């Protein structure tokens, strides 16, 4: 972090009783210029409050779009990151409206009447849409990347298989292995066949039916790494929350930047176009991208000018 960077602070957020989740609290991180426009930046279900900077001051999880020298810069913006509220036991899935209510509680915690911008990708985009519909006084405008008005049936089906896998692992004492498999299955849907073809050879190397292919070894490694940052019960809660998402585009009145990937399996471009058609004030961009649903992470620098231009409209 540059020496002149404004300080960060973490704060506890009390969950509103309406959310009905155990635990009662979550955490936020506030970074950046105290006098700058307030930007909430939230991503997928594995995203956390360290969107701008980590606890040790290293860059956060959204480089290229949030951080020094990017579209959302802590020298110019006040940046709020949030840990999503979830049931650690995996028995309750909050709606995205309830998650938006938690975001309102985070704004209350820092004494902010509203956010100038909520920048949300994937699950975070769903929460941004829910906030704009149900709590319009709390946000000026939203930028939504790879998020629909409601989940696609094929995406719901894949997530349900993931949740069944994790539930089976929990029941039989192998929850981490099950979670790693579920993550590998998810990554197949986040990325594209073209990316896999460019990186790996097909096939397995021997007669062992469980022999690892090049792509399979990669997915195993990513799944095992994910177990260090995601607990099985939390995954069940947030994965199911995605499939409870449903908003009415006609009920959203604020300006919306809507970005989708033409290669996205989870949120196909037709869903993005349908959402745009239902919004009253929308700027739509469909981007050709090798990385599918993971465009917001893997191709963030290409998206930054779109977000920056949308921010400048409000200046």
Active site members: 122, 264, 293
3-state secondary structure 19-47: HCCCCCEEEEEEEECCCCCEEEEECCCCC
- 90 contact partners, CB below 8 Å, separation of at least 6: 166, 167, 170, 232, 233, 234, 235, 236, 237
- 311 contact partners, CB below 8 Å, separation of at least 6: 37, 39, 71, 72, 117
Burial 203-227 (b: 16+ CB within 10 A, else e): eeeeeeeeeeeebeebbbeebeebb
Q: Which helix (H) or strand (E) holds 299?
A: none
- 89 contact partners, CB below 8 Å, separation of at least 6: 22, 233, 237
* Residue among 95, 84, 77 nearest 19 (CA): 95
- What are the residue ranges of helices labelled H in the chain? 96-109, 123-134, 153-171, 175-190, 193-199, 214-226, 232-242, 269-278, 295-298, 300-313
């Amino acid at each position: 972090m540059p020496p002149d960077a404004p300080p960060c602070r973490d704060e506890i957020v009390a969950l509103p009783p309406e959310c009905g989740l155990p635990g009662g609290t979550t955490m936020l991180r506030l970074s950046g210029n105290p006098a700058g426009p307030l930007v909430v930046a939230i991503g997928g279900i594995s995203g956390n409050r360290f969107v701008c900077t980590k606890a040790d001051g290293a860059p956060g999880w959204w480089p290229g779009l949030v951080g020094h020298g990017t579209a959302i810069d802590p020298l110019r913006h006040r940046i709020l990151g949030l840990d999503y509220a979830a049931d650690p036991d995996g028995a309750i899935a909050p709606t995205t409206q309830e998650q938006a209510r938690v975001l309102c509680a985070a704004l209350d915690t820092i004494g902010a009447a509203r956010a100038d911008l909520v920048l949300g990708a994937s699950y975070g985009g769903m929460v941004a849409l829910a906030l704009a519909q149900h709590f319009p006084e709390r946000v000026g405008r939203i930028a939504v990347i790879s998020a629909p008005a409601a989940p696609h049936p094929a995406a719901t089906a894949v997530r349900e298989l993931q949740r069944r896998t994790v539930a089976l692992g929990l029941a039989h004492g192998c929850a981490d292995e099950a979670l790693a498999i579920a993550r590998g299955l998810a990554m197949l849907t986040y990325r594209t066949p073209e990316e896999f073809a460019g990186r790996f050879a097909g096939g397995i190397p021997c007669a062992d039916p469980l022999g690892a292919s090049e792509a399979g070894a990669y997915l195993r490694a990513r799944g095992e790494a994910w177990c260090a940052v995601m607990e099985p019960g939390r995954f069940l809660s947030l994965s199911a929350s995605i499939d409870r998402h449903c908003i009415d585009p006609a009920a959203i009145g604020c300006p919306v930047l809507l970005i989708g990937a033409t290669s996205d399996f989870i949120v196909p471009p037709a869903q993005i176009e349908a959402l745009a058609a239902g919004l009253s004030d929308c700027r739509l961009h469909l981007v050709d991208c090798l990385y599918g649903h993971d465009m917001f992470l893997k191709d963030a620098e290409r998206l930054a000018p779109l977000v920056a231009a949308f921010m400048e409209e409000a200046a």
